[in-house]
Chain A
Amino acid sequence: MKPCLFCLPVILFFLMACAAEKPIRLPDLVTTQNQKEKQVCGQSFPVGKWQFVHSIVFTMQNGGGSTVIGVTTLTGPEIMSALITVEGLTLFEAIYHQDNNFEIQRAVPPFDNPGFAQGLMSDVRAIFQPPAGSKVQVGHLTDETPACRYTAADGKVTDILDADDCLQIKSYTPDLILARSIIGRSCRKQGSLLLPEHLVLNTFGPNGYTLKMTLISADELQGSLQ
């Protein structure tokens, strides 16, 4: 058999590629009754009517992307969401209902892509609403990070973590592979809510993308909207 001069580098290349793509699996949770760890469940999501305005830098895997202003209004049963350019053009506006249906009020290309509204709803719900899951466990990961773990009926798992005094949300598929991570930085307290000044949302997979969000304003709403 002839020696294969190219085999070793090629093999090494694929081994390295496989290592880079290795999926992140759900870490073990040590359940406790620790009071501080219980707080993680209660302070991570807004209660009542709120409005958040963020600058959002979105980056696609091909390197393309841009900066927009994102508006999220939580009214209890409904979430209203809009994306606006810096210059004031409304690119996208929708109302999401509790039953996962939504109404698109306006969508400028390429935000009129059929999957865009659904994907945005998933991201918005992941950031602003407690995850689905009747089973809730409180404890910490093996590195002592306080955690609140929600397990949904379909097997999806979401961990809410208190890391570096700020919020992290990690969502796993029913196969317990990391699908989305939301990492907060520079958290501050607003009432009982832990509010990150900066959020980085990553979705994983061939169509993955990154959103870098910076808080412009957070308002608890008293009456009706304008």
Chain B
Amino acid sequence: MKAASFFFLIIGALFFLSTPAFSLEDSQEQLTKIQSIRADFTQEKHLKILARPIVSTGTFTFQAPQSLRWEYRTPIPSILLMHGGKVKKFTRQDKKLVEDRGMGLDAMQVVLTEISNWLDGRFTDNEMFRVSFPDQHTVLLTPKDQALAGLISSITLELALQKGLLESVTIFEGPGSYTAMKFTNRTLNQEIPTTLFTTP
């Protein structure tokens, strides 16, 4: 399930493009002011065989430098926690949260490095993706790594009319197969207790 872990963190890393500080024209100084981010998200999974998309909801919380809580509430409660170099994932089974084991969670550390790069304004210096700008409101990411390209064909970021905000993120796997994410209720730089990143 290492591939699943990697995909998970791709989604998490992309969130940082949705902060008000992200913009094609923003200076490095503005980007480095982010200390914490919290937002709600809605995720839709589309597949050709699905009569209607699978809708998931949850919250995303990040505290600089490398603390993360990525929590799904529906349809399957699941929490990914990263703090102090440790990564753990919990999923609801039989009405209790059970820690997932053997997931290759060590691979997730790679994406935390990507997150740090983006917070330092080094978006185009991306080890994972080739970046292009088809138009003024769209960022297109295509994987550099062959292994990742086998999972994801491309990622499209749609920028909102308001400068610096992200409208949506769509991760394409192949024809008719994609995951679309929207972030709402963003809160920046609020104090977040450490226990949120250590306790499921």
Q: Which residues of B contact A69 (CB under 8 A)?
A: 45, 54, 75-76
- Say whether, besides A66-B103, A67-B91, A84-B45, A221 and B3 are in contact (CB < 8 Å): no
Once the chains bind, are A86 and B76 in contact (CB under 8 Å)?
yes
A114 CB within 8 Å of chain B: no
Query: Is B46 on the interface with A (CB-CB < 8 A)?
Result: yes
Q: Mark B1-21, 1 if CB is under 8 A from A, else 0.
A: 101100110010000000000
Q: How many A-B residue pairs have CB under 8 A?
A: 105
Contacts of A219 in B (CB 8 A): 51-52
Contact of A106 among B43, B52, B102, B174 (CB under 8 A): B174
From A66, A71, A89, B151 is in contact (CB under 8 Å) with: A89
**Contact residues on B (Cβ < 8 Å of other chain), bracket:** 35 or more
- 0/1 string, A183-226, CB within 8 A of B gives 1: 00000000000000000000000000000100010010100011
Contact A67 B151 (CB under 8 A): no
Contact (Cβ within 8 A) B7 A86: no
Shortest CB-to-CB span from B154 to chain A, Å, is 15
- Partner of A55 from B52, B75, B101 at Cβ < 8 Å: B75
Interface size, A (range): 20 to 34
Chain A residue contacts of B27, Cβ below 8 A: none
Question: A residues near B, CB below 8 A?
Answer: 51, 53, 55, 57, 63-64, 66-67, 69, 71, 73, 80-82, 84-91, 93, 106, 108-110, 212, 216, 219, 221, 225-226
